[in-house]
């Protein structure tokens, strides 16, 4: 029974071609953003990344200074 169903399926190249044809037709239906919208969203993303990078750098610097100021006894070797 399984051999009969396997024989009914088109070969892999026809299925792959069908996949690409259907994918291309779906991509034609997509409403793509304008270049201005893309640049605006890119600016927002870069600002958020910069903001959080500064916060993480600040917290790292604070903890680094705290660890440096610890006494070096009791096996603390930094």
Residues of the chain with pLDDT > 90: what percent? Answer: 62
pLDDT of residue 22: 95
Whether residue 76 is predicted with pLDDT greater than 60 in this model: the reply is no
Q: What is the pTM of this model?
A: 0.56
Instruction: List CB contacts of 78: < 8 A, sequence separation 6 or more.
Output: 67, 68, 70, 72
pLDDT of residue 2: 58
Average pLDDT of the residues of the chain: 86
CA distance 73 to 33: 60
Query: Cβ distance 6 to 12 under 8 Å?
Result: no
């Amino acid at each position: 029974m399984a051999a009969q169903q396997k024989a009914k399926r088109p070969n892999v190249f026809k299925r792959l071609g069908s996949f690409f044809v259907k994918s291309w037709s779906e991509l034609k239906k997509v409403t793509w953003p304008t270049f201005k919208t893309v640049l605006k969203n890119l600016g927002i993303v870069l600002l958020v990344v910069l903001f959080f990078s500064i916060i993480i750098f600040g917290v790292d610097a604070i903890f680094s200074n705290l660890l440096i100021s610890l006494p070096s006894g009791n096996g603390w070797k930094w």
